Amino acid sequence: MGILSKAGFLKDLGELWEELRRGGQQDYWSFVRRGDFREVVKRAYGVSFMLSYGYAEASEENGRWSLRANEERKSRGESVSVAISLQKEGSDG
């Protein structure tokens, strides 16, 4: 994934948040699975960060997860952590 400076991470995160805001409510996997595996990991990490810190919301219906960006960061009274689980296609674990 590489190492990013704080400024680089915030720039990438801002671009991802803007992309989610422009697209409205979107299927989680359709939003995350773009580019090569490195890009998928980067996008999944960014989504996890946005969900954990109130920049986006996730909802589940019939086993499918969707994402929606919040227009502003929504403060949550307590800390929330969202884990990501990915498997590279063709790998055994």
> How many domains, in total, are found in the chain?
1
- CATH code, domain with 67: 1.10.10
Only one residue has tokens 């986006």, namely 56
Q: How confident is the model at residue 93 (pLDDT cuts 50, 70, 90)?
A: very low
CB contact at 8 A, 46 and 86: no
pLDDT attached to residue 89: 72
Q: How far apart are CA 7 and CA 88, in angstroms?
A: 28
Q: For residue 52, give both structure tokens.
A: 């954990």
Q: What is the pTM of this model?
A: 0.81
pLDDT exceeds cutoff 50 at 67: yes
pLDDT at position 47 is 94
**Most confidently predicted of 52-56, 79-83, 88-92:** 52-56
Q: Domain range holding 17?
A: 1-93
